[in-house]
A and B are shown apart, each in its own frame.
Chain A
């Protein structure tokens, strides 16, 4: 498949935006919490799970999406939400707990919900997988050609909901693409210690659906495989599973000493940082020039700052607001 350069450039730009976003969130997260780390303090209280390094999985999917496609994601959602086009200002305001946030401050970073685009995420491992199955069911019953994408990690593949979801999507023949971001660790537990087989993509055959392994963290490889899987689902040919070996560059959560991963492991990840290698490849192939890259950075960094400024300048919700929106 020959990939239009607009897609390649868009994917790269989005990767730049995601990385800058995660870096800025990280900076702000720590600002008011140190010197003695108080998790409840600062502009972004609570837990924070950042996706630096996992950009390729999110952006590789992006060009194939259409309006109405549903995505469910995990406690590490930012890259996917950004790639899908969730309103960055409202998303950031939500992370900052403001009234103008996607959930008026009631959800926070692990519970970001957007109606358009159709995005939701969850703090419970594998919880979003059956929901994606349900979205696929709704699309099929309503006769739209939308698809549902279910993002989850290598840890989730051992949770019951993973198995139930794949089986249901298969037996009901639903337009769902299951995407496993294998970053080799579930918090501190390596996949070799948790999973009886080497590749979760092999589990697909247990449910009678195709499973494909993308063996490296390459946005173009993800683009091709996701394109095929999404087209398959959209045309009524059923669900599939994609497993991408990706890199979680930072700890599981911000504040994680990450002592359970060796320095060699972390250095190897840094050396193959897809954001760097993809940019280099685009320049080498003449798709972008160095000054294009600078211009992209400026624009993307600007969008990130705008979102952050919007959040910081937004009001906090009234405390009594905690009592509303339980029921419609």
Chain B
């Protein structure tokens, strides 16, 4: 069983540490989370982990911390530069090897880059970023165990299909897994979005009321059927109280919205030329086309651990 692993050493260290009550996950904590993940993955003898050797040595540190409980860990033939492209390249490489699962450690940005490299990845995103709308926040040991159980079960329902967004930007296509938002102001700077008055339009893949960010705004418009995304135009109209970021509850004004099925397309007004993909700004030229497409298949740890099968550690299903 081949499990891919990509850990992002720079997630959760950005300007949002100054502007809000963002989660602070330092390198030691990340190595610790990874070590616990490895212990979970090491629960089955057949597991081999193929990891990106990140610039901060997080995975190496985790292997050392986990000791004998870790599975075998090899490293991808990729030299990490510390840029986001490392994640994308690593994911693409793992796609080529048809890894059984792709575990990421980081925030929404990390997940997005991984999905760009491997669009239909069987994804296990562990939360260690400022915004973790898409990632799992369970104990990593459990996530490791659930990953192994889920892959072993060969039950496709264990990896839940999601929706993603394909966006045209000046350098080609890009993928977003949470949302695409068009934003006033051209300069990328620290790359993080945190001011609601800059928003023009958005497409969100979720209306989960427990989520943080644009999804929280979207939740204010009611539930979203599976396989759909929601388009929003900001402006005077309905006021939604949304959890805009960690520790940040704001009133956001929504002028219009409509739901979009997979396969549909919408063009966002990008006056001034910046879209934010899962919270990170990218410069575009002209308008921006957004296509709703199938997204990654994300592990449901609960389901994975309840499935029937030969794995001694899996618990019997109580469902009929």
A and B touch in the complex (CB under 8 A): yes
Interface residues of A (CB under 8 A from B): 1-3, 8, 197-199, 201-202, 205, 210-216, 218, 220-221, 223-225, 228-229, 232, 240, 245, 285
Question: Do the beta carbons of A198 and B9 come within 8 Å of each other?
Answer: yes
Q: Is the CB of B27 within 8 A of A197?
A: yes
The stretch among B12-20, B39-47, B136-144, B213-221 that forms the contact with chain A is: B12-20
**Min CB–CB distance A141 → chain B (angstroms):** 25
Additional A-B contact list (17), CB under 8 Å, known A210-B17, A210-B24, A221-B190: A1-B185, A1-B187, A3-B187, A197-B26, A197-B27, A199-B9, A201-B13, A202-B26, A210-B18, A212-B13, A212-B15, A213-B14, A215-B10, A216-B83, A223-B189, A232-B18, A240-B18
Which A residues lie within 8 Å of B57 (CB)? Answer: 198
B263 within 8 A of A: no
Chain B residue with Cβ nearest A240: B18
The answer for the CA separation of A221 and B18 in the assembled complex, in Å, is 14
Given known A210-B17, A224-B15, contact A205–B26 (CB-CB < 8 A): yes
Q: Are B185 and A2 in contact (CB under 8 A)?
A: yes
Query: What are 15 A-B residue pairs whose CB atoms fall within 8 Å in the complex?
Result: A1-B187, A3-B189, A8-B187, A198-B9, A198-B55, A202-B27, A210-B17, A210-B18, A211-B17, A212-B14, A212-B17, A214-B190, A221-B190, A228-B19, A285-B283
Q: Which residues of B contact A285 (CB under 8 A)?
A: 186, 283
Dominant secondary structure of chain A at its interface with chain B: mixed
Please, how many angstroms separate the alpha-carbon atoms of A285 and B189 in the complex? Answer: 14
Q: Which of B9, B10, B18 contacts A225 (CB 8 A)?
A: B18
Query: Which label, helix, strand, loop or mixed, suits the secondary structure of the B interface?
Result: loop
Contacts of A197 in B (CB 8 A): 26-28
Among residues of B, the one whose C-beta sits closest to the C-beta of A224 is B189
Going nearest first, the 6 A-B pairs with the smallest beta carbon separation are A2-B185, A198-B56, A224-B189, A202-B26, A213-B13, A224-B190
Contact B189 A221 (CB under 8 A): yes
Assembly CA distance A8 to B186 (angstroms): 12
> Min CB distance, A232 to chain B, in Å?
6
B184 close to A (CB within 8 Å) = yes
In this complex, what residue of B is CB-closest to A4?
B187
Bound-complex Cα distance A197 to B29 (A)? 11
Question: Nearest chain B CB to A235's CB is how many angstroms away?
Answer: 12
- Does B191 lie within 8 Å of A221, measured CB to CB? yes
- Bound-state Cα–Cα, A223 to B10, Å: 19
Shortest Cβ distance from residue A262 to the other chain B in the assembled complex, whole angstroms: 13
Residues of B near A220 (CB, < 8 A) are: 187-189
Chain A contacts for B186, CB-based, 8 A: 2, 285
| B68 sits at the interface (CB 8 A) | no
A228 with B187: CB separation less than 8 A: no
Contact of A205 among B15, B24, B83 (CB under 8 A): B24
> B273 → chain A, closest Cβ, in Å?
9
Q: Are A198 and B191 in contact (CB under 8 A)?
A: no
CA A197 to CA B198, docked complex, whole Å:
36
Complex Cα gap A223–B187 (Å): 11
Q: Which single residue of chain A is at the shortest CB-CB distance from B57?
A: A198
CB distance from B182 to the nearest CB of A (A): 14
The one of B9, B18, B28 that contacts A229, using a Cβ cutoff of 8 Å: B18
Q: Which residues of A contact B14 (CB under 8 A)?
A: 212-213, 225
Q: Which residues of B contact A1 (CB under 8 A)?
A: 185, 187, 189, 195
Contacts of B316 in A (CB 8 A): none
Chain A residues in 8 Å Cβ range of B17: 210-212
Instruction: Please determine whether B27 and A245 come into contact, CB atoms closer than 8 angstroms.
Output: no
B128 → chain A closest CB, angstroms: 13
B19: A residues at CB distance < 8 A: 228
- Give A294 to B109 CA distance when docked, in angstroms: 38
- Chain A hits for B283, CB < 8 A: 285
Q: Does B82 contact A (CB under 8 A)?
A: yes
Q: Using an 8 Å CB-CB cutoff, how does the interface string of B234-272 with A read, 1 for contact, 0 for none?
A: 000000000000000000000000000000000000000
| Distance (whole angstroms) from the CB of A42 to the closest CB of chain B | 39
How many angstroms between the C-alpha atoms of A225 and B18 in the bound complex? Answer: 8
Q: Which of A199, A213, A215, A245 is packed against the most chain B CB atoms within 10 Å?
A: A215
A216 contacts which chain B residues (CB < 8 A)? 83
A229 to B108, CA, bound (A): 24
B28 vs chain A, min Cβ distance (A)? 7
Shortest A5–chain B CB gap in Å is 9
Complex: A221 Cα to B281 Cα, angstroms? 12
User: In whole angstroms, what is the CA distance A285 to B273 when docked?
Assistant: 10
Write the B58-83 contact mask toward A (1 if CB under 8 angstroms, else 0).
10000000000000000000000011
Q: How far is the CA of A239 from the CA of B248 in the complex (A)?
A: 21
A169–chain B nearest beta-carbon distance, Å: 15
Q: In the complex where A220-B188, A224-B189 touch, is A213 in contact with B18 (Cβ < 8 A)?
A: no
Q: Which residue of chain A lies nearest to B194 when distances are taken between CB atoms in the complex?
A: A1
Partner of B56, one of A2, A199, A211, A221: A199
For A224, what are the chain B residues with a Cβ–Cβ distance below 8 Å? 15, 189-190
